[in-house]
Amino acid sequence: MATDFRNEPFTDFTRPENAEKMRAAIEKVRGQLGQTYPLIIGGREITTAATMLESTNPANPSQVVGRFPNATVEQANEAIEAADEAFKTWSRVPAKERADLVFRVADILRQRKFELSAWLIFEVSKSWAEADADIAELIDFAEYYARQMLKLAGPQEVVPYPGEKPELRYIPLGVGAVIPPWNFAGAIMGGMTLATIVAGNTAVLKPASTSPTIAAQFMRILMEAGLPDGVVNFLTGPGGAIGDALVDHPRTRFIAFTGSKEIGMRIFERASKVHPGQIWLKRTILEMGGKDSIVVDETADLDAAADGITASAFGFQGQKCSACSRAIIVDSVYDKVLEKVVERTKKLTMGDPTDPANYMGAVIDDKAFKKITDYIKIGSKEGKLVLGGETSDGKNGYFIPPTIIKDVAPDARISQEEIFGPVLAFIKAKDFDEALQIANNTEFGLTGSVYSKDRSRLDRAKDEFHVGNLYLNRKCTGALVGVHPFGGFNMSGTDSKAGGPDYLLLFTQAKSISEKVGP
């Protein structure tokens, strides 16, 4: 199967025709900002609510990107019940038809690529290239999971037995609560939803409150592709108010969540309780935070390492679960690597990402702005501030310059806690052994990379660096669907691999059937 899958190419914006298309898409989307979108429950659109949620542009907080009803707990329950009703028919739709629908979704996404990227630029402050990569990943998820489903629906290997015809089928689970984060507001939101439905399940999609508009655009595409009513129900509102209802409902069969460790743990605990009327143990697919390291030893290509650290730490303002927030450098090259990273970081541009000259946009919202600036203050006491650190009041956009803090202890708070912003700690190790030890000293285990030319050390890292996504002599961000199945260990999640060959198994259950055919 995977043979005919190809990753969606990234758009080359140095080509004038592509830059022109992007500019036109930005202007088109600018003209559509501030609209009101409905909740969609069982195909019914509901636009009125006691209170509304406003998604705003992080680079220009007074600009409203979209308005959404804040759903009530009753509506959350209704959405699960609508999905439960739709499951009766959708679960019987042949896998080929479900996969065809998802292929159609991929086609529409491809046609609207520039426009969808533009929504991400306004809603979550991605640069042109980051937005384009997010939508390319969403297209990849559609193409990849549809193919995976076809494979899973085909004959499965069972051991022959005389007189019987055994078979193994992967059947859907039921209703999934799909709860994505805002940082890959296209790819993760759409990827978890598509995995859910292509496997024959139905969903309640509750997007992050800072990125509901891209999810509303995606919903429209699902409907345009012919998705029957009730298969995906669209519910907006604060997770703190309606999340528990989605997780707790006795007809919820599984929860597909990506987000912080704190919310992931809450869902894990709540999902373990069996409620009256519930006849299954809920499955949880929980992808959580990271505290990712790049290790550099004295044999490494230091320029390549500095490029990798800079891109991994500051791309999308450091707001990737895979972002490098710890550069662990062996003593003898520590100063050199630091100098090279500082030199490269000083050249990074920051500002309104509708302008392609800006490499970095704003951080997502006022809460993130405060949290990150607080961590910079903490870090400046824990180590020495080398670059960045200037804070503003955030009123003209939540901009935080790329910040580097050196001589940070391996157990300092900024070495251990996920900041989720453009803050990079430099940590000195006396040698490679110690560097590897430090790299493994957090509760997380998501991504990591090692720059070295020493084969035996690279091999040791393969065995000993305990992360779900390990990279050797390349940056620790930018996982590609199918190429780098993605997901972490320990407190980074439930060890699943999005965009990998076994991901859909998490959304299905195996049924063993055997018919007596002979004596």
Active site members: 287, 321
Number of residues that bind ligand NAP (CB under 6 A): 35
Amino acid at residue number 195: A
Q: Which two tokens stand for residue 319?
A: 């707001």
The whole-angstrom separation of Cα 328 and Cα 476 is: 13
Q: Which of residues 426-465 bind ligand NAP (CB under 6 A)?
A: 446
Nearer to ligand NAP, 452 or 477 (CB): 477
x/- mask, ligand NAP, residues 327-356, rule CB under 6 A, reads: ------------------------------
Q: Closest by alpha carbon to 270, among 285, 282, 261, 256?
A: 282
Q: Which of 191, 421, 493, 499 binds ligand NAP (CB under 6 A)?
A: 493
> In sequence order, what DSSP letters do the residues of 329-381 get, joined into one string?
EEHHHHHHHHHHHHHHHHT--BS-TTSTT-SB---S-HHHHHHHHHHHHHHHH
Is 243 a binding residue for ligand NAP by CB under 6 A? The answer is yes
Is 179 a binding residue for ligand NAP by CB under 6 A? The answer is yes
Nearer to ligand NAP, 206 or 428 (CB): 206
The whole-angstrom separation of Cα 288 and Cα 342 is: 29
472: left (phi over 0), alpha (psi -120 to 50) or beta: beta
Least separation in angstroms between residue 233's CB and ligand NAP is: 15
Is 239 a binding residue for ligand NAP by CB under 6 A? The answer is yes
Q: Closest by alpha carbon to 287, among 179, 205, 177, 367?
A: 179
Amino acid at residue number 463: D
Nearer to ligand NAP, 87 or 420 (CB): 420
DSSP 164: E
Least separation in angstroms between residue 258's CB and ligand NAP is: 5
Q: Which of residues 253-282 bind ligand NAP (CB under 6 A)?
A: 258-260, 263, 266-267
The whole-angstrom separation of Cα 501 and Cα 495 is: 14
Is 185 a binding residue for ligand NAP by CB under 6 A? The answer is no
Only one residue has tokens 């390319």, namely 136
Is 209 a binding residue for ligand NAP by CB under 6 A? The answer is yes
CA 198, 204, 210, 211 torsion-angle sign: positive
Q: Which of 138, 232, 271, 288 binds ligand NAP (CB under 6 A)?
A: 288
Q: Which of 100, 107, 229, 244 binds ligand NAP (CB under 6 A)?
A: 244
Least separation in angstroms between residue 180's CB and ligand NAP is: 6
CA 449, 288, 98, 235 torsion-angle sign: negative
Least separation in angstroms between residue 300's CB and ligand NAP is: 27
Is 418 a binding residue for ligand NAP by CB under 6 A? The answer is yes
Point out which residues bind ligand NAP (CB under 6 A): 179-184, 188, 206, 208-209, 238-240, 243-244, 247, 258-260, 263, 266-267, 287-290, 321, 418, 420, 446, 486-488, 492-493
